[in-house]
Chain A
Amino acid sequence: MQLTILIAVLIVLTVLAFVYGRKRALVTVGGNRRALHSMPSYHGWFVALWCGLPAAILLVLWLVLRGTILDGFIEDALGPELAAAGPEMHGALLEDVRQLAAGNSIAREPSPALLAAADRYSSLQSSADAAVLVIGLVAAALGLGFAWRKVGPKLRARNNVEAVVRLVLFLCSVVAIVTTIGIVLSVLFEAIRFFGRVPFWEFLFGVQWSPQMAIREDQVGSSGAFGIIPLFTGTIYITLIALIIAMPIGLLSAIYMAEYASPKFRNAVKPILEILAGIPTVVYGFFAALTVGPAFRGFGDALGLSVSSESALAAGVVMGIMIIPFISSLTDDAIVAVPRSLREGAYALGATKSETVVNVIIPAALPGIVAAFLLAVSRAIGETMIVVMAAGLTANLTANPLDSMTTVTVQIVTLLVGDQEFDSPKTLAAFALGLVLFIATLVLNVVALHVSRKYRERYD
């Protein structure tokens, strides 16, 4: 509530600051615009920014940190209760307190300690919010006052405002880096905790994957094994099948489109093929499960082969279909980038089209094609929905493409979907798998980028 007031007041103040700052700038020079260093509206912006920005930053910081700070207070208040409940219930108890404080009902009968904590939580929250409100208003007023006094013919308002704009632009571009850091930290952090429970080498070289952990001590047959080898083989196998399908089709269709097709044909067919690229992966997954899987199974039955309805083959083939437009568009870029003069050189020697393509264009575009291949591999191993829907869940260490296989992404999904305790090795394992996936795709991308950049330089 207090925060809403703060936001509303800030908006009004900022708008007023702009309007009056602008006016004041004109007043200071007696209406003679030319005497000002910057246009009056820049003065308005200058004042508005000084008024709104510090308070807004404070507000955002508070919103981000509020939960953590308040949690610290209730943890103190709830001390004994938390200790009694054990570490697993920690999060749940805090959540209950928050719900109670917000006036919602909770699943269990609230204990007196919980209720007391909830009271404390809500009173803390309102007083803290009030404090922030006051501080925010003071900050706005101080900023306003400061800027107000500064306005005058000498003030380089435009330069100041533009510096702020530049800073904002810069910060936006830093979001990309922050995202990467966020990915690395969030994945790495949990993965390290996972390796605290499961030895790293066992994870990397174990051939057994069965992440069920015993919930009770006396449960049978669920010791939990976290060997990643069967997931690796499954991932690589399905990726391989996908590439065997996608590479030739993608490559050949790109070559045909770029070198042989008439403009009419190209204009008609290219957009149609681009539809393939726009189809969401979940639809491909559904297609695999609905059509391709059963079709392969029926076909196998007719040949007397036993084909699992969730076969690696079906998943791989559909994934290959998904990757075709990806490969063909990257290859197309590489082929189009081959300078015309090279083609003409070959034609002028009397080479046929196919000779020109095979002997001149493909070698010249090879780095681009290799990059396309690497990116396609990276795409395939990171692809999730098709394999979740069409490949299996059990980790089979097999080379039979008609069997079901599982992949790294499938396991991440199965480990994290459903209600999980955040601290169990099972959940943490998903992050360890995520780390592996991230590193693998990162390496592939960096190599692909390097290869294609090197080649681009050659024709520039």
Chain B
Amino acid sequence: MTDTSAAIPAPARASPWQLSDATARRVRRRKRADTRFQLYGVGAIFIALAVLIVLLSSIAGSGIGGFVQTRFALDVTFDEKLIDPSGTRDRAVLAKADYGVVLMNAVSAAFPEVTDRQAKRDLRKLFSNSARFQLRGMVLDDPSIVGTTQKIWVPASSDADGFVKDGATTKGIAEADRRLKDRQIEWIGQLSERGAVEKRFNWSFFTSADSREPEVAGIGGALLGSFYTLLITLLVCFPIGVLAAIYLEEFAPKNRLTDLIEVNINNLAAVPSIVFGLLGLAVFIQTFGLPRSAPIVGGLTMALLILPTIIVATRAALKAVPPSIREAAYGVGASPIQVVAQHVVPLAMPGILTGTIIGMARALGETAPLLMIGMVAFIADLPGGPMDAATVLPVQIFLWADSPERGFEEKTAAGTIVLLVFLILMNAIAIYLRKRFEIRW
């Protein structure tokens, strides 16, 4: 260190930091304005966070119940006279029998004191209608149970299910306004005393298809439908999108046509999704005659919808590969195609995959275009392939949200939770990929 500065004495002066009153006031005012502005920003972020929390918690709050199912135990007598009067155990006969009566008898047996017709009807309403199909399925699986009496857990009806899950909600509401009457509540109490009520995790929610009965409706069909749809989307969109991006980024000459393509992609990215639905309806269904409501149509439509996303992401990834890599490859005499295929694309792959996953996540959550192409129908069977009528998860949520039955509300919310979990997973994978393989040049 040199010490030249020491020779020069510091000036002895009054501090110039003393400001006149007016100036000081002005500075204070500007400071306050600055603080205020900063508070606006904090407020905005706070509001956004609060909204997110309210949204997620309101959905979680009403959806948790959807994963739990209430079941009642019944001693069911598979009366041979009712099910198979001729005793042939012919499957057609077994299938056609009236299991409603079998169920009703079992219910009556559990509550012998209930005799009044109206009361019996109310009692019957505690049990899900679907129990009949459950009984039928058991008989068809194992005809030897005909003639025996079995203890069977049957799903509670939606109203009874709701009461068992949060009975408190009925308090303080007049009987006439309630879904369950006093005596029905009493019966549930009796069942509970006998140990004939259980709540358990609702696995069937993930495996069964839609149903008119909220208590047995599941998202299995919708999950399969979403899977097929996304599969088609990926198969169509990934190659086309990546190849198109490669062309535009690496090969396209600068001319009117490529300009047009660029502008086009930008505009397509902002076309409302519902318009893609109209396109799918007019082109794939009306013109090409593909089946309505089928995942193949949904997948193709979605592929067109997210094509711009994939192209843009891929181009960004390609652009991030430094020109020096290309020059090095050209320098050893590689052809343009070799440069791109052997050097640029492998380096850009993490970025391309990230973009693709984000595009697929968007396709998974998209609803509106699928309404246009008829994937909004009530479908009680699991789809067997991409040509079968199906629905997808978000559309299932939409359908249930529109249903008047109260029991569907928790199903809707539960379906939403599943959808959000999938989306968060996909995004997490995308973020992980980006972090893991990110190369800083």
Contact = CB atoms under 8 A, between A and B. Distances in A.
Interface stretch (A16-24, A47-55, A221-229, A279-287): A279-287
A330 to B, nearest CB: 12
Interface of B: 30-31, 33-34, 36-38, 40-45, 47-49, 51-52, 54-55, 58-59, 62, 239-241, 243-248, 251-252, 258, 260-261, 263-268, 270-276, 278-279, 281-283, 286, 288-289, 304, 307-308, 311, 335-337, 361, 364-368, 371-372, 376, 394-395, 397-398, 401-402, 409, 412-413, 416, 419-420, 423-424, 427, 431
Contacts of B38: 256, 260, 353-354
Contacts of A165: 337
Contacts of A177: 260-261, 264
A449 B266 contact: yes
B272 A256 contact: no
A172 B244 CA distance: 5
8 contacts: A176-B261, A252-B45, A282-B398, A285-B398, A389-B402, A412-B278, A416-B371, A431-B282
Given A173-B248, A176-B311, A280-B394, A186 B282 contact: yes
A35 interface: no
A85 interface: no
Contact of A64 (B43, B288, B398): B288
Given A180-B267, A354-B33, A389-B401, A256 B274 contact: no
User: Main secondary structure on chain B at its contact with chain A?
Assistant: helix
Contacts, number: 265
A413 interface: yes
Max chain A CB contacts within 10 Å: which of B278, B394, B402? B278
A289 interface: yes
Contacts of B37: 353-354, 357-358
A438 B47 CA distance: 33
B34 A189 contact: no
B397 A286 contact: yes
B274 A176 contact: no
A67 B371 contact: no
A17 B137 CA distance: 54
A425 interface: no
10 nearest A-B residue pairs (beta carbon): A382-B272, A256-B41, A280-B365, A186-B282, A354-B37, A252-B44, A169-B247, A384-B368, A173-B244, A172-B243
Interface string A67-81: 100000000000000
Contacts of B402: 389
B277 to A, nearest CB: 8
Contacts of B30: 352, 355
Contacts of A180: 264, 267-268
A186 B279 contact: yes
B278 A280 contact: no
Interface string A209-250: 000000000000000000000000000000000000000111
B399 to A, nearest CB: 10
